[in-house]
Amino acid sequence: MRSKNPLRFIYATPYAAWLLLFVLAPIAVIVYYSFFDLSGHLTLANYRNFFTSIYFKLTISSFWYAFLITFFALLISYPTAYFLTKTRHKQLWLLLIIIPSWINLLLKTYAFIGLMGVYGPINALLEAVGIGSQQILFTDFSFVFVSVYIFIPFMILPIFNSLDKINPTLLDASKDLGANAWVTFKRVIWPMTTDGVKSGIQVVFIPALSLFMITRLIAGNKVITLGTAIEQQFLVTQNWGMGSTIAVFLIIFMFLIMVLTSGKKGGIIK
Amino acid sequence: MKKLGILPRIYLAAVFVILYAPIFYLIYYSFNSGDGMSHFESFTLDHYQAVFQDTRLLIIVLNTVIIALLSALLSTTIGVIGALTIYFMKNKSARQAVLSLNNILIVSPDVIIGASFLILFTLVGVKLGFASVLISHIAFSIPIVVIMVLPKLLEMSTTLIDAARDLGASRKDILTRVILPYIKPGIFAGFFLALTYSLDDFAVTFFVTGNGFSTLSVEIYSMARTGITLTINALSGLIFLITIILVLGYYIIGNKAKSPQGVKK
């Protein structure tokens, strides 16, 4: 049936070229560069370096922060997406959720520098309720909070879409068969939205592993992630070899996470 | 439709307040005659005036918008072709393989995309600047468009295409009069998402931009490390206003286009 393709082979060329030039070639050059040292000699020193305790600690803490960020983003986004599908003008509300992500990331981050600052409104509020002003900026809390804030719209979107696709008669059927709200959620709604949740986790966890702008502006260089390390090697020390080596490991982690979160991806294609 | 209970309403309201608080905070202080974001002295429009007098800043804004529009347009075109290519692939495992390759850039961290593109551009000899930034933005937006369009294609019944063919439609007709209208919502969604990604991108641009070329994100980053002026606040106020107008306009047009025909849902 699909054999009579209205697109002739030649139309596929731009897409195929993109796959080759911007998906396969970049991975190849990263792997290639990871075997060279600063003076251009073929070496395995970069890999030896990566297995020292510094980079090991870095990797662990990077994963821990990414986990926290993803966890809180999911915790907040799922109910939000669920309630959104129940509103009258749900597409408009969804748009309103997306609008903040159109406002430049850097502007929002900058706003938090002001909001969380010593003289900012959050501290003024804490002062007013008697807790007293705290050092909020440049802590783990501020880093995780701002990151979660940035990622929420990207987590809500796929979950909203998968919730929106659920046929409401299924919920009625579940109710008619005697399931209470919790059982309906656990046995009907949640299983049907796991694909949305998985893609939400994908779009949050992996970028969270490699944040570097927020670590610099909000965490004040206290939090170092794999992303920060790569940026440092590429743009500050100009050691592309070491930077590429860290990138190779980040790519490996990325593939592992992709495999873990897309177990049933074949389900998309009938 | 059931109405939302009181707790869900409060929850949603809280999420919206937190989502918008930083933005309104920036806008609020854009009217401040003082020189910081900690206490409000008196109302002024000086900073808005300053935005329109700062040619350098305006050029950077223009760069950002041009890059976003061009990259969204081109990536949507290539992405739709890509989705169709994947849809019409006969070999199931090949299709799965292409789809996995497609998703690599979506899940790739920005720093990796930035770093690898930087090596690539240096190797090929592309001058870092407008061209490298535009190419990068197109490249990382294409898979997003594919992902938005493909589900629409898959949900389309193949009998539609058969029916069109039986009725004598040519290949071109099938594409332009059956498939494209059907997947239009996916195409629009892809375009807007590509626009969003481009406007929002900082990391990739930061890697592949040269000395002479800057987008808003990169500019604000370098300013944030030295100390920002309230001009940036005024600018974010303007950006917010334009975004709201665009979104509402899009929503109203979308609704108007739907209602008279009574599109089936």
Interface test with A, best of B9, B19, B158 (most A CBs within 10 A): B19
Q: Mean of the pLDDT values across residues A90-97?
A: 86
In the prediction, which pLDDT does A54 show? 87
User: Does residue A124 sit at the B interface (CB-CB below 8 Å)?
Assistant: no
- Interface confidence, given as ipTM, is 0.82
Using the predicted structure, report yes or no on whether residue B1 has a pLDDT greater than 70: no
Least trusted range by pLDDT, from A191-195, A220-224, B5-9, B146-150: A220-224
Residues 6+ apart with CB under 8 A from A14: B77, B78, B81
- Give me the mean pLDDT over the A105-115 stretch: 86
**Burial status of residue A53 (CB atoms within 10 A of its CB: 0-12, 13-18, 19 or more):** exposed
Alpha helix stretches (DSSP H) within chain A: 13-18, 25-33, 45-50, 53-86, 90-102, 105-115, 121-128, 140-165, 168-176, 181-184, 190-209, 213-217, 226-231, 240-261
What is the rounded distance in angstroms from the CA atom of residue B131 to the CA atom of residue B67?
9
The answer to whether B196 contacts A101, with C-beta atoms less than 8 Å apart, is yes
- Compute the mean pLDDT over every residue in chain B, rounded to the nearest whole number: 86
Dig out the tokens for B119 from the structure.
Answer: 């090596």
Round to whole Å and give the CA distance between A253 and B130: 32
Q: Which residues contact B86 (CB under 8 A, 6 or more apart)?
A: B95, B98, B99, B102, B146, B150
Token digits for B254? 């979308």
Cβ-contact A168, A189 below 8 angstroms:
no
Both structure tokens of B53: 């007098």
Residue A2 pLDDT > 70: no
The conformation of residue A138, written as its DSSP 8-state character, comes to T
Query: Residue A207 is nearest to which of B37, B38, B109, comparing CB atoms?
Result: B109
Cα–Cα distance between A183 and A179 in angstroms, integer?
6
**pLDDT at position B243:** 77
Q: Indicate if the pLDDT at residue A7 is higher than 70.
A: no
Q: Which two tokens stand for residue B200?
A: 């929002």
Q: Please, are residues A58 and A45 in contact by the beta-carbon 8 Å criterion?
A: no
B249 three-class SS: helix
What is the tens place of the pLDDT at every residue in A189-240?
Answer: 899 899 899 989 988 998 888 888 888 888 877 778 899 999 999 998 899 9
> Could you tell me the two tokens for A133?
């002003």
Q: Which residues of B touch A91 (CB under 8 A)?
A: 251
Is the pLDDT at B109 greater than 70, yes or no?
A: yes
A243/B115 touch (CB, cutoff 8 Å), yes or no: yes
In terms of pLDDT, which residue wins out, A190 or B200?
A: A190
CA distance A53 to chain B (A): 23
Query: Which token pair is A172?
Result: 């009625």
Which stretch of DSSP H or E encloses residue B187?
Answer: helix B180-200
The tokens describing A6, both together, are 């209205």
- Other beta carbons within 10 angstroms of residue A242's beta carbon come to 25
A247 contacts in B (CB within 8 Å)? 111-112, 115-116
Judged by DSSP in three states, B43 sits in strand
Is residue B4 pLDDT above 70, yes or no?
A: yes
Contact across the interface for B216 and A104, Cβ inside 8 Å: yes
Query: Residue A270 — very low, low, confident or very high, per pLDDT cuts 50/70/90?
Result: very low
